[in-house]
Structure formats: structure tokens, C-alpha cells
Chain A
């Protein structure tokens, strides 16, 4: 990676809100420039950044998770997979138990069993995994069969789309996920109307600029409540029992 790319793709941490608990659930490493998303190919820099935060918070008695996005196709590259699993294996068990793998872009045509087997080297060294799907995706039960405990969508790619249509799709997505006994995580909520409709639709975990921009340091993360969306009261720094 050249220095220009390095500067342009500064690694930040996105706070993820647990809607029901009114608390911070996890940090998710995020590159600041979308064109450098290829760095999600099993890079250990995101892993290190997120787990450093989790470890630091652990020492303060504050429990959070690290959500690590990984492109599904990266898992099919044996060399990268070996380096990554080795890095995971070196981590203390307590830290690994805070790591959730977030699988992006699951290829079509893969069976649930095949996906499960491909992910096993990583998921056996972490808390578990969740999968991403387009908000219009139909077959969410597949992810449950593969062993995921949650399914996520990302609205970042949906900017400019008709919000009324998007809100209906979010509601339908949550219903399909709940029918498959999957929790739902929604990223990229860029407007208050989308945050509110996601909350009311039953999305369990939320992130996006309308809630909080990514932070360079964990101290910038806040305990979030719905009224903070409207400037009523100030979000406070997260602590173990917030919410």
C-alpha cells in the first residue's frame, strides 16, 4: 500500500448501538474511503485496531465486542486464511470471545453447509459470525442454516434511493430475519427517518452517521439513546452498565 492510499484509508472505529439496551454493543473497523474496501480481505490491521480497543475497555471493566468485516471470497484464499487464523490463534481466549466476524458478499450458489465449512477455521477462533445481505435479499434462512446468529444490511450503498421504499424493505427484511430466528444489524443509517423506522421495525443493532460518525479513539464513543437524535440531552461516554 502506498502512502497516499494509507492516508486516504485511515482506519476508524464505528460505534454500533444496541437498540434495546440503549448501549454501545461493538466497534467495527471502517476504512474512511470506500474505494479501499478491498482492505477487508482478511487484513490483520482492522482486527488489531478493534481488539486493542476491546482490550483497553476490558481493563476498565467495560464490555464491548469487535465486529470485523471480512469479504467472503477472502476466506477462499488459503495463504491469507492461514496468516489470519494464525494471528487469531495467538490472541488470548478472552479477547477472541469478543470477536464477531461479519461476512460480506456471500457468493450466490454456495450452500449453507459449504459456507459453514469455509468459515470454520475463523469462526472456531471467535465468538461467532454474522452475514451481510442486500436489504432486498429474500433467502435469509440460509444464513441461519450456515450458523450465523444475525444478519445485516448496509444502507451506505442505498443513498439516493426512495426512502419510503427503503423503509418498507427494512421492515420486510426484519420480518424475514425474525422468522429465521436471526437478529438484525443495520449499518449506514444516514438519516433520522431511517434510524427511527429501523428502530420501530425491530432492528436490533444500528450504526450510521445519523447516530454517530466513526471515531479515531474509543473515548469518543457514546452511550446512545433515541432522544439524542434530536439534541435532547447529551450522549454520554459509554460504560459497562449504560442503559
Chain B
């Protein structure tokens, strides 16, 4: 069963995403911000990382860069709220700076499944 690390400061969103991923038969570990996300990644090597962009204590783009530096092959999905154009600007930047996929929030189970299918080739 592949492992996914979710990095997001919104606990409710993490819970919801965990449910969706478990339904898709992934095993999930969580972290509440970028800094602890990188620490978790060092401890447990996962197959996929899903990270929010706007977070306290190290935002998502730096988090992506640090994780890619540790394991260049790990697949990373960047997520962010689609509410403001600036959110999208940072999400697109994440795509240029190491994220393998970008996923504007909100998204559903089918969107998530498609993204993972794409990443798994």
C-alpha cells in the first residue's frame, strides 16, 4: 500500500483528505506545517507528498524544495485555495519550483484519483 504524507495546517482539511486517500487505498501520515512536514519526511520515506502552499512556519514552496532536495524522485502534489488570484499565482509557482502536480482546492475524490493515476503512470 503506497504511503502519502499530507502537510496542511487545516486539521479539518487533513481529516477529510485522509478519508479520501484511505478510500483510494493509500496509507496516510500527517504534518501540520512545512517545518514538521520535512521532519516527518525524513523519518518516514513516503511515496507521495501532498502539501498546502499557505502555511505558518515554512510555507509550501520552500517545503517542496527541501523535500525534493532530500529525495528528488518523490512525487509532490501542491494544493491551495482557489479563492484568490494570488493563491493561484503561488500554486503555479509551486508547479515551476518542483511540484509534480498542482491541485486547486476544493477538489473531490475523482479529481484526487485522476491526479494519482497520472503520477503513477
Contacts and interface: CB of A to CB of B under 8 A. Distances in A.
A196 B96 contact: no
Contact of B56 (A19, A162, A227, A229): A162
Contact of A196 (B33, B54, B81): B54
A226 B94 CA distance: 11
B98 to A, nearest CB: 10
A230 B56 CA distance: 16
Interface stretch (A33-41, A60-68, A197-205): A197-205
A53 interface: no
A193 interface: yes
Contacts of A232: 93, 96-97
Interface string B63-96: 0010000000000000001001011011001001
A226 B57 CA distance: 18
Interface string A151-166: 0000000000011101
Contacts of B47: none
Interface size class on chain A is 10 to 19
A166 B56 contact: yes
Nearest to B57: A163
B61 interface: yes
B48 to A, nearest CB: 22
Contact of B62 (A167, A192, A197, A226): A192
Contacts of A193: 34, 54-59
B22 to A, nearest CB: 26
A226 B90 CA distance: 8
Given A192-B61, A193-B54, 12 more contacts: A19-B86, A163-B56, A167-B56, A192-B59, A196-B54, A196-B59, A200-B84, A226-B86, A226-B89, A226-B90, A230-B93, A230-B97
Interface of B: 9, 33-34, 53-59, 61-62, 65, 81, 84, 86-87, 89-90, 93, 96-97
Interface of A: 19, 162-164, 166-167, 192-193, 196-197, 199-200, 202, 226-227, 229-230, 232
